[in-house]
Amino acid sequence: MSEKAFQRIYTKLSAITKATVTLEAQGVANDELALVAGRLAQVVKIKDNAVTLQVFGGTEDIPTNAEVTFFGEPPSLNVSDELAGRFFNAYGEPIDGGPAVEGEKRQIGGPSVNPFKRRQPSQLIPTGIAGIDLNNTLVSGQKIPFFADPDQPYNQVMSMVALRADVDKIILGGMGLSNDDYLFFKNQFESAGALHKIISFVNTTDQPPVERLLIPDMALTAAEYFAVDKNEKVLVLLTDMTLYADALSIVSNRMDQIPSKDSMPGSLYSDLAKIYEKAVQLPDGGSITIIAVTTLNDGDITHAIPDNTGYITEGQLFLRADPDSGKVIVDPFRSLSRLKQLVQNKKTREDHSAVMNTSVRLYADAANAKTKLENGFDLSDYDLRCLDYAKEYATRLLAIDVNISIEEMLDTGWELFGKYFTKAETGLKEKLIEKYWKDKE
């Protein structure tokens, strides 16, 4: 980012907090960028001549006589095909040693797509993971987060999904990524030979938290360039949105806003929606699909961050360790893909939704049986069969290390029904039973 020579330089700050500075200045526009003692800052409030700036790099050791210059424009990113294969920081500056990107300068956080111009998402994104493809099928243009405790391998699963998905570009927005995880992503992409279609915007844990606020908008501006201008299929990975929301609360706190639930700003819903709603299926074939990560505190989805996220996104993928099978599974109860019915039975076999619903219902019966067992009650024959079924279902279909086609997933489902249950116990439509039922071998 370059300074403009004719801009006036201010040198008198009237207030400093941990995240913001305030000064008297004229002719300043809302949202525009400035440099405060060499650090990038953005206008967040103007009252008469008092301008409040949010300093992305933090305000440590900024003196009251720090130099402030205004840029006269909001944050932007240079977009062109040169973005592909590159790594950037939160400001869109290269961190891979390469040259700056030449291209059209676009303001980040731009307008939203006219809902009437959108198309209905209808393209299946197969991942090979049955917990996703069978139970929570993903569709291009969807937005969906992984809900996971910090000890779950969410970044691994996400990179696996990204590399298996058939897309033109993968854009990684890393917020508060540990250096190790950043290198993990880099290695994964490199060893898959996919670097040419990857673009990364990364803020690591050793960088100031407020910088993270720029990451999603940077990533999505790049995504819109490829999806809208180039009609490409773009997959955006955002990890970890909980750390993004934490940064929002830091800024609103410093601006003395009244916090709402869990000390989050009252605008959290709108702030998150602005990002997730960039997911879109465009009329000319381009699409933006967003897969995000929201880390949870001990599985608590009632916290304001996962709660608001759940209301915005089109479902969630819930990872948890399953003690019975010893595997990390995609929890079939808590996970949901809201767009799955757009492709199930249409782009997949006719028995897809029936197999999915029945296998999950039987898994729920197994959960009841397990409760009975834990309470020291005798189990019925049905209960025992459910428990056996559950273990095999978890191992062969729910575990994240599964990599099979959807057809195989459905066949496995029928195999398990036949192995453990009678036709009546499954409650499946007779038409399907006639065609697909597999008797116990």
Q: Note whether 79 binds other proteins by CB under 8 A.
A: no
| Residue 147, strand partner residues | 294, 318
69 binds other proteins (CB under 8 A): no
What is the per-residue DSSP string for 170-230?
EEEEEEEE-HHHHHHHHHHHHHTT-GGGEEEEEEETTS-GGGGGGHHHHHHHHHHIIIIIS
- 123 touches other proteins by CB under 8 A: no
27 binds other proteins (CB under 8 A): yes
Secondary structure (3-state) at 49: coil
Per CB under 8 A, the segment of 55-63, 178-186, 187-195, 367-375 that binds other proteins is 367-375
Tokens representing 59? Answer: 């305000």
Q: How far is the CB of 163 from other proteins (least distance, A)?
A: 25
Using CB under 8 A, which of 117, 298, 323, 374 touches other proteins?
117
| CA separation for the pair 249, 244 (Å, rounded) | 9
The contacts of residue 118 (CB under 8 Å, 6+ apart) are 280, 281, 282, 283
34 binds other proteins, rule: CB under 8 A: no
Query: Could you say whether residue 370 binds other proteins (CB under 8 A)?
Result: no
Q: Is 388 in the site for other proteins (CB under 8 A)?
A: no
String marking each residue 218-247 x if it binds other proteins according to CB under 8 A: ----------x-------------------
155 counts as binding other proteins under rule CB under 8 A? no
- Is there binding between residue 404 and other proteins (CB under 8 A)? no
Assess 120 for contact with other proteins (CB under 8 A).
yes
**Is residue 259 a contact point for other proteins (CB under 8 A)?**
yes
Among 186, 347, 349, 372, binds other proteins (CB under 8 A): 372
Neighbours of 36 (CB within 10 A): 24
Which residue in 37, 84, 336, 384 binds other proteins (CB under 8 A)? Answer: 336
Rounded to 10 degrees, the C-alpha dihedral 75/79/83/87 comes to 0
Which range, of 27-35, 97-105, 185-193, 195-203, touches other proteins by CB under 8 A? 27-35
Residue whose C-alpha is closest to residue 169's, from 102, 85, 88, 248: 85
Within residues 176-205, the interface with other proteins by CB under 8 A covers: none
Q: How far is the CB of 412 from other proteins (least distance, A)?
A: 19
Q: How far is CA 280 from the centre of its chain?
A: 14
Strand partners of residue 69: 9, 35
Report 263-292 residues binding other proteins (CB under 8 A).
266-267, 269-270, 273-274, 277-283
- 166's CB contacts (< 8 A; 6+ apart) are 125, 126, 233
> Rule CB under 8 A: is residue 30 a binding residue for other proteins?
yes
Give yes or no for residue 26 binding other proteins (CB under 8 A).
yes
Please list every residue from 294 through 313 that binds other proteins, using CB under 8 A: 301-304, 307-308, 310-312
Contacts of other proteins in 125-154 (CB under 8 A): 141-142
Question: Among candidates 163, 166, 132, 119, which has minimal Cα distance to 315?
Answer: 132
Q: What residues from 407 to 436 belong to the interface with other proteins (CB under 8 A)?
A: 424-425, 427, 429-430
Decide: is 371 part of the binding site for other proteins (CB under 8 A).
Answer: yes
CA distance 324 to 392: 10
Tell me which amino acid residue 150 is.
P
Considering beta carbons, is residue 178 or 380 the nearer one to other proteins? 380
- For helices 406-420 and 352-374, give the axis angle rounded to 10 degrees: 50
Least distance from other proteins to the Cβ atom of residue 264, Å: 10
The owner of tokens 């909001």 is: 74
Could you identify the residue written with the tokens 């949105």?
Answer: 241
Using rule CB under 8 A, residue 14 touches other proteins: no
State how far Cα 276 lies from the chain centre: 8
Among 28, 192, 194, 404, binds other proteins (CB under 8 A): 28
Using the contact rule CB under 8 A, the part of the chain among 3-11, 46-54, 160-168, 393-401 near other proteins is 46-54
Nearer to other proteins, 198 or 280 (CB): 280
What are φ and ψ of residue 390, in 5° steps? Answer: -60, -40
